[in-house]
Amino acid sequence: MYTPAGLCATFISFFGFFKLNQWLNSELCFIPVPTKYAGSTRYKWSNAVGSFIHATLVSLLGAYCMYQTPEYFTERVLTTTTLGEIIIGIFAGYFIFDSVDLVKYQGIQATWPVVLHHVVLVSVGLGYFLYHHQLVGYGMLACLIEINSIFLHGRLLLLMYGFSKTSLVYRLNSVFNIITYLAFRMGCLVLLIPMVMDDCERISSFWCYWFRVTAVTLLVINLILFYRLIRSDLITKSNKGIDNDNIMVPNNNHVNGKSH
């Protein structure tokens, strides 16, 4: 059964990021908006800022939670804490909001890899972690993946603010981006597959199957994104425009009458 902590965190996270997005798109926002995104495409900038804040928040909280509760590494099925369930609630609430925001402004055709990623994680987070109070350690492992998301979203923000790919700041971020992508994003996903296989005997057959599908799906999605990252930052030498360098979407065509 659900506990107040996890559900409250989910709702607070959803409405918190919704209000943050409203503020970022309002005249009250004191954060400088890139000139190119000061008009009708401001939603792209506000989404990138929200994603950066979320990645920073949950990665720090997740790392702290795993440090405070090392049992997450040894007893992955039964170990749970209130803080761990709150973090998963923050995850779920943000992913629900971000999915709605992406589809609303950019369309499902342009954002399906990210939306699929979010739907899969929300189904696991709300459907199993928070309901059964088990495998919360898997969610904490996902927090380590968000360490890479800091640099991934930071990359897009640097491009939005006009930093050249040849600038020192961008190059440093690119190096940390690739390192953390391999070490945390891909590393955690590769570890996740044998972990799921080991723990499947202790959970229902349905969820065992779904966790396997989830792990493989996320691995494939992130392999595709890594290819786009390498192609954009290492193979392509010159800037072709910020929109073309957003590796999170497969294309940037006009969708539903709005340009991405």
- Among residues 142, 130, 138, the alpha carbon closest in space to that of 198 is found at 138
Q: Is the pLDDT of residue 167 over 80?
A: yes
130-144 core/surface letters (b: 16 or more CB in 10 A; e: else)? bebbbbbbbbbbbbb
Average pLDDT over residues 62-78: 90
Q: Is the pLDDT of residue 81 over 80?
A: yes
- If pLDDT is split at 50, 70 and 90, which confidence band does 18 have? very high
> Model-level pTM?
0.88
Tokens representing 24 are 């970022």
Alpha-carbon span 116 to 43, nearest angstrom? 20
Q: Check if the beta carbon of residue 185 is closer than 8 Å to that of residue 222.
A: yes
Q: Is the pLDDT of residue 109 over 90?
A: no
Check residues 4 and 46 and name the one with the higher pLDDT.
46
Residue 26: what are its φ and ψ, rounded to 5°?
-105, 170
Average pLDDT over residues 243-253: 55
- If pLDDT is split at 50, 70 and 90, which confidence band does 253 have? very low
Amino acid at position 122, single letter: V
What pLDDT does 260 receive?
34
Alpha-carbon span 187 to 81, nearest angstrom? 24
Question: By percentage, how much of the chain surpasses pLDDT 70?
Answer: 90
Q: Mean pLDDT lowest for which of 175-184, 214-223, 236-245?
A: 236-245
Q: Check if the beta carbon of residue 88 is closer than 8 Å to that of residue 102.
A: no
What pLDDT does 254 receive?
37
